[in-house]
């Protein structure tokens, strides 16, 4: 596959991931809005300050506590915002076939014994090349990962104009006997010894 096509395919995957994150943020905004409406309704039902009875401090205290928690909900909302990934990766094949452009690849348990996942991964910016890559599959209360040795990808190094990125290819294999039917995410993590690693979820697998 030409790396121009790879870049286009990666852009589609990145767009799918971004859309999923937007959906998550929208859900959180809805939750915060619902909480604010509930608080406003309780405040509207409170008696005026001149008529508040001394035996009703507990309800007021409850609302005050909930109001105090509201800013933290907003802080959590913005903390979960989209940040620029520190890793750029592309999946070349899943189970011997090119990944579905939708971001979800379907695998049948009866067709394969092992699920292969291969591609390449490089750090963004001026970071040093990765020394290792881990391929992780998560879903259905199951998480499994493979640490793989990097392979030569001179085409990737040429595309980025950086000879140090030649060791950027990876290939991992998972036994399908470990997986149950369901949807799993594929996460690629790259790193160097003694430094924080970088990871990103790039595709989904639906096992049938």
Dump pLDDT digits (tens) for 55-92.
Answer: 445 555 554 555 455 454 444 444 444 555 688 999 99
**Exposed, middle or buried: residue 119 (CB in 10 Å: 0-12, 13-18, 19+)?**
buried
Average pLDDT of the residues of the chain: 76
Torsion-angle region of 146 (φ positive above 0: left; ψ -120 to 50: alpha; else: beta):
beta
> Would you state the pLDDT for residue 93?
92
Which pTM was predicted?
0.59
| Multiple choice CATH, 87-207, 3.40.190.10, 3.10.20.600, 2.60.40.10, 3.40.50.970 | 2.60.40.10
**Per residue in 30-58, pLDDT tens?**
667 767 777 777 666 665 544 444 444 55
Can you read off the two tokens belonging to residue 23?
A: 């959906």
- Give the residue extent of every domain in the chain: 3-79, 87-207
């Amino acid at each position: 596959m030409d790396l121009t096509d790879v870049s286009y395919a990666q852009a589609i995957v990145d767009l799918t991931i971004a859309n999923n994150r937007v959906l998550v943020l929208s859900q959180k905004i809805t939750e915060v809005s619902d909480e604010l409406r509930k608080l406003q309704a309780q405040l509207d039902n409170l008696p005026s300050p001149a008529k508040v009875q001394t035996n009703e401090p507990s309800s007021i205290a409850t609302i005050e506590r909930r109001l105090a928690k509201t800013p933290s909900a907003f802080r959590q909302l913005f903390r979960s915002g989209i940040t620029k990934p520190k890793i750029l990766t592309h999946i070349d094949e899943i189970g011997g076939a090119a990944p579905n452009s939708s971001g979800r690849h379907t695998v049948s348990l009866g067709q394969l014994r092992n699920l292969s996942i291969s591609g390449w991964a490089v750090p963004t910016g001026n970071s040093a090349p990765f020394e290792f890559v881990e391929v992780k599959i998560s879903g259905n209360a199951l998480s499994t990962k493979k640490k793989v040795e990097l392979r030569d990808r001179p085409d990737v190094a040429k595309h980025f104009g950086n000879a140090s990125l030649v060791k950027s290819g990876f290939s991992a294999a998972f036994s399908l006997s470990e997986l149950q039917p369901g949807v799993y995410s594929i996460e690629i993590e790259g790193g160097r010894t003694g430094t924080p690693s970088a990871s990103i979820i790039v595709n989904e697998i639906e096992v049938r």
